[in-house]
Amino acid sequence: MSIAATSTIVGSFSPTRSPTGRLRPRMALRSSGISVTPILADLQKNCATPLPVLRHVADAMAADMRAGLAVEGGSDLKMILSYVNSLPTGNEKGLFYALDLGGTNFRVLRVQLGGKEERVIDTEFEQVSIPEELMFGTSEELFDFIASRLARFVEKEGGRFCLPHGRKREIGFTFSFPVKQTSIDSGILIKWTKGFAVSGTAGKDVVACLNEAMERQELNMRVSALVNDTVGTLAGARYWDDDAMVAVILGTGTNACYVERMDAIPKLPDQTLNSRRTIINTEWGAFSNGLPLTEFDRDMDAASINPGEQIFEKTISGMYLGEIVRRILYKMAKADDLFGDAIPEKFSKPFILRTPDLCAMQQDSSDDLEAVGLILNNTIGVASNLNARKVVLEVCDTIVKRGGRLAGAGIVGILQKMEEDSKGVVFGKRTVVAMDGGLYEHYPQYRSYLQDAVTELLGSEISKNVIIEHSKDGSGIGAALLAASNSKYGH
C-alpha cells in the first residue's frame, strides 16, 4: 500500500526536444534550479515520507510486533526469542572469542575481560570480506572457510590474552540471518537473506554446522552463545550504558531487537521462566506494512532471490539503496537520455552501483560536481553534464531520505510498543537506542534523516531523552560478553 503525499515539485512543463528528436516535457525544480523530467517528479511524490506516513509506519510496526508476540507466525515480524535473559553486568572476566558472519563481512575477535574495574583489558580483531562464490556454494564450503579463518586467528593469540590452563576457548557466534533459536547455543536457520543462497543450511542448526567445520579444522573451541547481531549490539551497548534498551543494525541488511517483558509474550510456551525480561529479535527486515514503494522497488524485488520477502530491508538497507538508484537512473537514461544517447552495457548490470557510491557522490559539494561525474563514469560507465549530475544527486537524496526516515519510524514503532505496555519505561527517562552497521556508520545524510524522523514523530521534548547513538563495534564485543555470561566455567 502506498500513501499519497503532496509533491515537493513546483514548476511548469515545457516541451523540449531530446538529441534523438523525441518530444518530452521538462520542468524546473524550483529549489535546485535543475531541469528534470516527470520521472523525478513522480519518484519524489511516491517516495515522500511526510509525518502521516511516518506515523502510519510506526503504528503498524508496533501492531505487527504485538501480533508476532501473540502467536507463532502471527505477523511478518517473527519476534524471535533470543534466550538472552540477562545482559552483561560488567563483572565478566577472562578470554573470549567472537565470530561475526554479516552480509558482506566476516569478522573474528578476541577480548580479554577484566571485570568491573578493568573492563576490556585488550581486544584484537580481523575482518575479511566474504568471497562471493561462497554466498552461492554449499554449507560445508562456507563454514569451512569461516572455521579456517578462525583457526588462523586463534594461532596468533599472545600478549595480554591468556586462557587459564585446562580450559577450552569459548566463542560467541554472531549470525546475522533469521534463526529460530532453540537455546542460547543452538538455532535453526529459517532462511538466507541479503543475497545469500547457500545450499544445505536452511532447517539446520547453524551452531552444529560451525562445530562440525571446527572439528574438520581440528580447532578445539566451544560455541557458548549463538547471537543475532542486533542482540550482540544491545549486549555490547549495555556493558557501558544501563539505559540501552533497543539495538538496530543498518548495514548490508537491517534488523532490530529490544528488551521485552516475559509476561508480554503470549506465545511463550513456558510462562514460569525465572526471568522477568528477555531480548526479542524482531527480524523487522520482513516488515512491509504501509511503505511508500515505487515501480523500481517492485521490479527489484521481483528480480531478487527472495521476491515478496524482506520488503523493509529492501527499502532501507545498504545492500539495496544503490540498486534502487541504478534502476531509476537507467530508466531516466532510456526515457530521457539523461546521459546522452549511449547506454553502456554495464549500466544494466544489477548492483553495479553500490550504496557507498551514493554516499561518496552525496559528499561532493563542488560547483561542477566533478566527483559525482567521476563516480558515474567509473561505476555505470556514463558521461554526464552538470544538470545530469544534479538530477543524480536528487535521486540519491530521495531514496536515502526515504530509507533513513522509514528506519526512524521503525525505531519509534518499537519505543511506542514498549511504552504502551509499561508507562514510563522509555519516554519517562533517558533511553539509548544502540545503532551499528556500515550504512549507519558511514552515511551522514542517512543518519540525519533518521534522526529527523524520530524527532518529528516524538516531538522535541520526548526525543531529547531518546539517545540514538552509534555503538562502536558493539556486536563483536557483545557476542564475546554473552559467551562469557554463558560460559560453562561460570564467571
Catalytic positions, please?
A: 194, 229
Sequential DSSP letters for 195-232: T---BT-TTSBHHHHHHHHHHHTT--EEEEEEE-HHHH
- The CB-of-104 to ligand ADP minimum distance in angstroms stands at 4
Instruction: Say which entry of Mg ion, ligand ADP, none residue 195 contacts (CB below 5 to 8 A, set by partner kind).
Output: none
Instruction: Say which entry of ligand ADP, Mg ion, none residue 318 contacts (CB below 5 to 8 A, set by partner kind).
Output: ligand ADP
Q: Nearer Cβ to ligand ADP, position 301 or 436?
A: 436
Residues 6+ apart with CB under 8 A from 477: 98, 109, 111, 120, 123, 236, 239
Q: Nearer Cβ to Mg ion, position 170 or 229?
A: 229
Instruction: Say which entry of Mg ion, ligand ADP, none residue 438 contacts (CB below 5 to 8 A, set by partner kind).
Output: ligand ADP
Instruction: Say which entry of ligand ADP, Mg ion, none residue 319 contacts (CB below 5 to 8 A, set by partner kind).
Output: ligand ADP
Q: Nearer Cβ to Mg ion, position 57 or 479?
A: 479
Instruction: Say which entry of ligand ADP, Mg ion, none residue 252 contacts (CB below 5 to 8 A, set by partner kind).
Output: ligand ADP
Q: Nearer Cβ to ligand ADP, position 82 or 193?
A: 193
- The CB-of-249 to ligand ADP minimum distance in angstroms stands at 7
d(CA 481, CA 87): 9
- The CB-of-256 to Mg ion minimum distance in angstroms stands at 13
Three-state SS at 466: strand
All three cell numbers of 428: 519517562
Three-state SS at 138: strand
Residues that bind ligand ADP (CB under 6 A): 102-105, 176, 251-252, 318-319, 355-356, 359, 437-439, 442-443
The alpha carbons of the chain give a radius of gyration, in whole angstroms, of: 24
- The CB-of-162 to Mg ion minimum distance in angstroms stands at 28
Instruction: Say which entry of Mg ion, ligand ADP, none residue 359 contacts (CB below 5 to 8 A, set by partner kind).
Output: ligand ADP
- The CB-of-406 to ligand ADP minimum distance in angstroms stands at 16
Task: Kindly indicate which of the ranges 34-42, 98-106, 109-117, 299-307 contains the residues binding Mg ion, using the contact rule CB under 5 A.
Answer: 98-106
* Closest residue by Cα to residue 368 from 381, 385, 391: 385
The single-letter DSSP state of residue 340 is B
Q: Nearer Cβ to ligand ADP, position 105 or 451?
A: 105
Pseudo-torsion of CA 184, 190, 196, 200, nearest 10°? 90
d(CA 77, CA 92): 33
In the set 94, 102, 292, 403, which binds Mg ion (CB under 5 A)? 102
Q: Nearer Cβ to ligand ADP, position 62 or 324?
A: 324
- The CB-of-340 to ligand ADP minimum distance in angstroms stands at 28
Residue 49 CB coordination number (10 Å): 24
Q: Nearer Cβ to ligand ADP, position 438 or 478?
A: 438
- The CB-of-356 to ligand ADP minimum distance in angstroms stands at 4
Task: Kindly indicate which of the ranges 121-129, 222-230, 260-268, 316-324 contains the residues binding Mg ion, using the contact rule CB under 5 A.
Answer: 222-230
Task: Kindly indicate which of the ranges 1-9, 223-231, 253-261, 327-335 contains the residues binding Mg ion, using the contact rule CB under 5 A.
Answer: 223-231
* Closest residue by Cα to residue 329 from 404, 380, 400, 401: 380
Instruction: Say which entry of ligand ADP, Mg ion, none residue 344 contacts (CB below 5 to 8 A, set by partner kind).
Output: none
Q: Nearer Cβ to ligand ADP, position 31 or 363?
A: 363
d(CA 310, CA 190): 13
All three cell numbers of 473: 563495534
The single-letter DSSP state of residue 437 is S
State the binding string over 236-265 for Mg ion (x if CB under 5 A, else -). Answer: ---------------x--------------
Residues 6+ apart with CB under 8 A from 234: 87, 244, 245, 246, 247, 257, 258, 259, 279, 434, 474, 478
The single-letter DSSP state of residue 177 is S
Instruction: Say which entry of ligand ADP, Mg ion, none residue 104 contacts (CB below 5 to 8 A, set by partner kind).
Output: ligand ADP
Amino acid at residue number 267: K
- The CB-of-100 to Mg ion minimum distance in angstroms stands at 6
Residue 426's Cβ-count burial label (10 Å; 0-12, 13-18, 19+) is buried
d(CA 37, CA 219): 60
Q: Is residue 109 within 8 Å of 96, Cβ to Cβ?
A: no
Contacts with Mg ion by CB under 5 A: the residue count is 3
The single-letter DSSP state of residue 164 is P
Taken in order 350, 354, 357, 362, the sign of the CA dihedral is positive
| Span 400-459, contacts to Mg ion by CB under 5 A | none
User: Which stretches of the chain bind Mg ion, using CB under 5 A?
Assistant: 102, 229, 251
